[in-house]
A and B are shown apart, each in its own frame.
Chain A
Amino acid sequence: MRKIYSRIDEISGNVVTVQADGIKYGELAEITSAHGKSLAEVILLDGGKVSLQVFAGSRGISTGDEVRFLSQPMMVSFSDDLMGRIFNGRGTPRDNGSALTENLIEIGGPSVNPAKRIIPRNMIRTGIPMIDLFNSLVESQKLPIFSISGEPYNELLARVALQAEVDLIVLGGCGLKYDDYLFFKERLESGGAMSRSIFFVHTAADPVVECLMVPDISLAVAEKFALKGKRVLVLITDMTNFSDAMKEIAITMEQVPSNRGYPGDLYSQLASRYEKAVDFDGAGSITILAVTTMPGDDVTHPVPDNTGYITEGQFYLKNGRIEPFGSLSRLKQLVNGKTRDDHRALMDGMIKLYASYKETLEKKSMGFRMSDWDEKLLKYGTLFESELMDLSVNIPLEGALDKGWEILAACFNPDETGLRTNLTSKFWPKKEAVTHG
Chain B
Amino acid sequence: MSNIGKVVGVNGNMVRVEFENDVLMNEVAYVKLKEKRLKSEVIRVRGKRAEMQVFEMTKGIGVGDEVEFTSDLLSVSLGPGLLGQIFDGLQNPLPQLAEQCGFFLERGIYLDAIPANRKWKFTPVAKVGDTVTRGEKLGSVPEGIFEHWIMVPFNQYGTYKVKSIAAPGEYAVKDRIAELEDEKGRTISVNMVFQWPVKRAVDVYAERLKPVDPLVTQIRIIDALFPVARGGTYCIPGPFGAGKTVLQQLTSRYADIDIVIVAACGERAGEVVETLREFPELIDPRTGKSLMERTIIICNTSSMPVAAREASVYTAVTMAEYYRQMGLHVLLLADSTSRWAQAMREMSGRLEEIPGEEAFPAYLESVIATFYERAGIVRLKSGQIGSVTVGGTVSPAGGNFEEPVTQATLKVVGAFHGLSRERSDARRYPAIHPLESWSKYQGIIDKKRTSFVRQALFASDEVGQMMKVVGEEGTSLDDYMVYLKGEFFDSVFLQQNAFDKVDAATTGDRQKYVFDTIISIILATFDMSDKESARSFFNQLRQRFLDWNGAPMDSDEFKKIEGEIMAMLEQHRKESAAEAAEKFKQMFG
Q: Does B425 contact A (CB under 8 A)?
A: yes
* Of A44, A116, A257, A420, most B-chain CB atoms within 10 Å: A116
The segment from B99-107, B136-144, B172-180, B442-450 found at the interface with A is: B99-107
B375-394 Cβ-contact flags toward A at 8 Å (1 or 0): 00000000000000000000
Instruction: Determine whether the beta carbon of A25 is less than 8 Å from that of B546.
Output: no
Which residue from chain A places its CB closest to the CB of B297 in the assembled complex? Answer: A114
A308-337 Cβ-contact flags toward B at 8 Å (1 or 0): 111011100000000001101011010001
Which residues of chain A come closer than 8 Å to B303, judged between CB atoms? Answer: 111, 268, 271-272, 274-276
Which residue from chain A places its CB closest to the CB of B8 in the assembled complex? Answer: A47
Instruction: Report Cα–Cα, A263/B57, bound state, in Å.
Output: 18
Contact of B273 among A118, A271, A418 (CB under 8 A): A118
Instruction: Determine whether the beta carbon of B107 is less than 8 Å from that of A25.
Output: no
Q: Does B203 contact A (CB under 8 A)?
A: no
Which residues of chain A come closer than 8 Å to B145, judged between CB atoms? Answer: none
Instruction: Determine whether the beta carbon of B302 is less than 8 Å from that of A268.
Output: yes
Interface residues of B in 56-99 (CB under 8 A from A): 57-64, 86, 94-95, 97-98
* Of A114, A267, A326, A372, most B-chain CB atoms within 10 Å: A114
Which residues of chain B come closer than 8 Å to A416, judged between CB atoms? Answer: 536, 539
Q: Does B570 contact A (CB under 8 A)?
A: no
Report if A256-B349 is in contact (Cβ < 8 Å); known contacts: A25-B60, A45-B11, A368-B471: yes
Instruction: Determine whether the beta carbon of B62 is less than 8 Å from that of A25.
Output: yes
Instruction: Determine whether the beta carbon of A111 is less than 8 Å from that of B105.
Output: yes
Instruction: Report Cα–Cα, A326/B424, bound state, in Å.
Output: 9
Per DSSP, chain B at the interface is: mixed
Interface size on B, residues (CB 8 A): 83
Instruction: Determine whether the beta carbon of B349 is less than 8 Å from that of A264.
Output: yes
Which residues of chain A come closer than 8 Å to B98, judged between CB atoms? Answer: 113, 115-116
Instruction: Report Cα–Cα, A268/B341, bound state, in Å.
Output: 12
Instruction: Determine whether the beta carbon of B62 is less than 8 Å from that of A45.
Output: yes
Report if A45-B9 is in contact (Cβ < 8 Å); known contacts: A258-B345, A268-B342: yes
Q: Does B296 contact A (CB under 8 A)?
A: no
Instruction: Determine whether the beta carbon of B273 is less than 8 Å from that of A117.
Output: yes
> Least Cβ distance of B544 to chain A in Å?
8
Which residues of chain A come closer than 8 Å to B400, judged between CB atoms? Answer: 300
Instruction: Report Cα–Cα, A25/B60, bound state, in Å.
Output: 5
Report if A368-B104 is in contact (Cβ < 8 Å); known contacts: A23-B62, A305-B398, A362-B468: no
Instruction: Determine whether the beta carbon of A265 is less than 8 Å from that of B97.
Output: no
Contact of B97 among A113, A309, A328 (CB under 8 A): A113
Which residues of chain A come closer than 8 Å to B532, judged between CB atoms? Answer: 371-373
Q: Does A369 contact B (CB under 8 A)?
A: yes
Instruction: Determine whether the beta carbon of B349 is less than 8 Å from that of A275.
Output: no
Which residues of chain B come closer than 8 Å to A179, judged between CB atoms? Answer: none
Q: Does B269 contact A (CB under 8 A)?
A: yes
Which residue from chain A places its CB closest to the CB of B104 in the assembled complex? Answer: A110
Q: Does B258 contact A (CB under 8 A)?
A: no
Instruction: Determine whether the beta carbon of A418 is less than 8 Å from that of B104.
Output: no
Interface residues of B in 94-137 (CB under 8 A from A): 94-95, 97-98, 101-107
Interface residues of A in 330-362 (CB under 8 A from B): 330-331, 333, 337, 344, 348, 351-352, 355, 362
* Of A46, A258, A314, A333, most B-chain CB atoms within 10 Å: A258
B540-572 Cβ-contact flags toward A at 8 Å (1 or 0): 101100110010000000000000000000000
Q: List 20 A-B contacts (CB under 8 A).
A: A24-B61, A25-B61, A45-B11, A113-B94, A113-B105, A116-B102, A119-B273, A258-B345, A259-B397, A265-B306, A265-B342, A267-B302, A268-B342, A275-B301, A331-B270, A355-B425, A366-B471, A369-B471, A415-B543, A420-B550
- List the 9 shortest-distance A-B pairs measured between CB atoms, nearest first: A300-B398, A368-B471, A271-B302, A275-B303, A26-B59, A258-B359, A308-B240, A115-B94, A111-B303
For the complex with contacts A110-B106, A113-B103, A272-B303, 6 further pairs of A-B residues with Cβ separation under 8 Å are: A47-B63, A114-B94, A227-B103, A275-B268, A310-B302, A333-B499
